Amino acid sequence: MNPRASGARPIDEKAALLREGQGASGARPINDRAALLRYAGLEQVLPLGSRLNARGALEVGGCDVTELAREHGTPAYVYAEDDIRARARAYREAFAARTNRFEIIYASKAAPITAVYRLMADEGLSCDVASGGELHLALAGGFAPDRLYLHGNNKTEAELRYAVERGVGTIVVDSFDEVERLRRLAPGQRVMLRVTPGIKPDTHEKIATGQEDSKFGFGLDDVPRAIAGCEAAGLELCGLHAHIGSQIYELSVLERLAEVLDGMGDYPLLNLGGGLGIAYTPEDRPPSVDEYAEALLSRVPDGVTVLCEPGRSLVGNAGVTIYTVGTVKAIPGVRTYVAVDGGMSDNLRPMLYAARYEAQIADRFGGSDLCTVAGMHCESGDILIRDVELDDPRPGDVLVIPATGAYGHSMANNYNAIPRPPVIFCRDGAARVVVRRETYDDLTLRDA
Ligand code: LLP
* Ligand 1 center from residue 236 Cα (angstroms): 26
Output the CA 88–ligand 1 centroid distance in Å. 17
CATH code for the domain in which residue 250 is found: 3.20.20.10
Of 279, 314, 349, which residue is a domain's last? 314
Evaluate: CB of 405 within 6 angstroms of ligand 1: no
Kindly give the parts of the chain with pLDDT less than 50. 1-7, 24-30
Closest residue by CA, ligand 1 atom 24: 407
Into how many domains does the chain fold?
2
* Same domain, residue pair 53 and 96: no
Annotated active-site residue in 63, 230, 308, 378 = 378
| Residues 203 and 297 grouped into a single domain | yes
Q: Which pLDDT score is estimated for 208?
A: 81
Q: How many CB atoms are closer than 10 A to CB 292?
A: 26
What is the structure's pLDDT at 31?
Answer: 52
Supply angle C-alpha 335, 341, 342, rounded to 5: 95
Domain limits for position 134: 83-314
109 and 217 inside one domain: yes
Does residue 134 line the site of ligand 1, with CB under 6 A? no
Quote the ligand 1 centre to 111 CA distance (angstroms). 11
pLDDT at residue number 21: 75
Task: Identify the burial level of 384 via C-beta atoms within 10 angstroms of its C-beta, where 0-12 means exposed, 13-18 middle and 19 or more buried.
Answer: buried
Q: What kind and span of H or E run contains 184?
A: helix 176-185
124 and 75 in one domain? no
Measure Cα distances from 196 to 153, 260, 369 in Å.
12, 10, 46
* pLDDT value at residue 36: 65
Please tell me the predicted confidence (pLDDT) of residue 62: 97
Are residues 161 and 274 located together in one domain of the fold?
A: yes
* Number of C-beta neighbours around residue 270 at 10 A: 25
Q: Is 426 a catalytic residue?
A: no
